[in-house]
Structure 1
Amino acid sequence: MEPYGSTDTQAALDGLRDLTQMGWIVIPLLALVFYIYVTEIKKARKSGNWDVIVCGLTLFGMDFFNETWNGWVAWLTQDQAFWTTPGPTALRVMVGWNVEIIFMFLISGLIYGKTISEDKNEKIFGINNRWFWGLGYAIFCVVIEIFLNIGGLLTWTYPFWNRSFAGVWLIFLFGYFHFYVACILVLKIKSMKKRLIAIGCIYGVAIIMNVIAGILGWYY
């Protein structure tokens, strides 16, 4: 494998998926995610309302896809990904994806699902509540990412993907907001079977992309 041009990308590849470097923090985080999902599944089975679980799975699937295409960019350019996480981590899974981010996004969709109203037509300041909270959480994520970038934990290298006005809009739209748009669209599907098919398609695309990368020997 030829070296990547970006030092941040190269640093993020150091110890990539190296289980010998895994930290013990993974265990309690995993237990916490399991506990939260089991609790929400039990509630859903009693109420028959699976919206929270649907949001959790949908949002994480979108993040999985996002991190996959970001890895593809790193390999295809042999230079740099849109974002990298070269700093300390309990386990780095892709150049821009570590286990801490994974657990966070596994929970983030549940938070969104718990926040929105059961009344899909309810409005906040004249905006449908699902879109209002989608916008709000996406903005919140961008703010957090900016602080992570300032701290050097999450790096950007492309000149159009930065803290400029235009760059922040790109991060908002293609980094986070479409996660919540996907949740809203899947929630609009009435049939649970069709919801699962839609969620399966999201994961399926990401999985196929990673299988292709594995067959071609891509390393990201």
Structure 2
Amino acid sequence: MTTATEQALSSLRDLSTLQWYVIPLLAIVFYVYVREIKDARKTADWNAVLAGLTIFGVDFFNETWNGWVLHFTGRSAFWTTPGDTALRTMVGWNIEIMFMFLLVGIIYYHTLSESKKEKILGLPEKWFWAIGYSIFCVFVECLLNIGGHLVWEYPFWYLSFQGVWLIFLIGYFHFFCFAILVISLKTMKAKLATVGIIYAVPVIMNLLAFGLWGWNY
């Protein structure tokens, strides 16, 4: 195993690392969702909440298959977060990242105008902002990688011109694609079913991995 992997595993889901700043961050996330739910109950428009849950759910899936990569290679996941954190939930996931992804979908949704025909630089705005936010997120990840907080091990997923494209596509862009899919569906039943499937896949994967097979990632 790589040094970063060993460091990440050494304090995995260790509650003794919890820090007090988690409390206000949790309160902020709760406040945002409570406000969105309150507005949704008035307007019957639940897309902001669903966009938030969708992107977090897709990230949950990403972090799960990333853990499976570690198990099957016995060496390293695609990405590892060995640095300081209030709580490392998986080898590439921590509580700070989780809070961020709980909010990203809501931020994305409120970036969009009410007009579905709006375009920016010739692109439908939903795709423009999906690309824009994905590029920004990759830029932030590059900074975290340079700082040693986020470790990339494999040459096809690395800080290089070739590597960042895969990080862009699989690391972020498809998050927004799923959000666009969910908020574009016509019925609430279809929206909820899609979000349910997004969560069901990683939940089943983790139940099998942790509960049945005894894996650790």
In 2: Cα distance, 1:95 partner to 1:129 partner = 35
Using the TM superposition, give the Cα deviation of residue 123 of structure 1 relative to its aligned residue in structure 2, in angstroms.
Answer: 1.0
1:216 pairs with 2:216: no
23-32 or 84-93: bigger deviation:
23-32
Match in the other structure for 2:182:
186
Q: Alignment length, in residue pairs?
A: 216
Q: Which amino acid aligns with 2:197?
A: C
In 2: Cα distance, 1:119 partner to 1:187 partner = 14
Match in the other structure for 1:79:
75
- 4+ residue segments displaced more than 6 Å: none
12-21 or 96-105: bigger deviation:
12-21
Q: Which amino acid aligns with 2:119?
A: K
Identify the match of residue 46 of structure 1 among 42, 45, 53.
42
Identify the match of residue 119 of structure 1 among 100, 115, 121.
115
Match in the other structure for 1:27:
23
Match in the other structure for 1:57:
53
Using the TM superposition, give the Cα deviation of residue 210 of structure 1 relative to its aligned residue in structure 2, in angstroms.
Answer: 0.3
> TM-score normalised to the size of structure 1?
0.96
> TM-score normalised to the size of structure 2?
0.98
Using the TM superposition, give the Cα deviation of residue 20 of structure 1 relative to its aligned residue in structure 2, in angstroms.
Answer: 1.9
In 2: Cα distance, 1:186 partner to 1:49 partner = 13
Using the TM superposition, give the Cα deviation of residue 64 of structure 1 relative to its aligned residue in structure 2, in angstroms.
Answer: 0.4
1:8 pairs with 2:41: no
In 2: Cα distance, 1:190 partner to 1:118 partner = 16
Deviations 1:131-153 (A, max 9, x none): 01000000000000000000000
Q: Which amino acid aligns with 2:186?
A: K
Identify the match of residue 64 of structure 2 among 61, 68, 72.
68
Match in the other structure for 2:102:
106
In 1: Cα distance, 2:203 partner to 2:112 partner = 29
- Could you tell me which runs of 5 or more consecutive residues in structure 2 were left unpaired when the two chains were aligned: none
41-50 or 206-215: bigger deviation:
41-50
In 2: Cα distance, 1:113 partner to 1:45 partner = 17
- Could you tell me which runs of 5 or more consecutive residues in structure 1 were left unpaired when the two chains were aligned: none
Q: Which amino acid aligns with 2:183?
A: L
In 1: Cα distance, 2:209 partner to 2:45 partner = 37
Q: Which amino acid aligns with 2:205?
A: M
In 2: Cα distance, 1:18 partner to 1:134 partner = 35
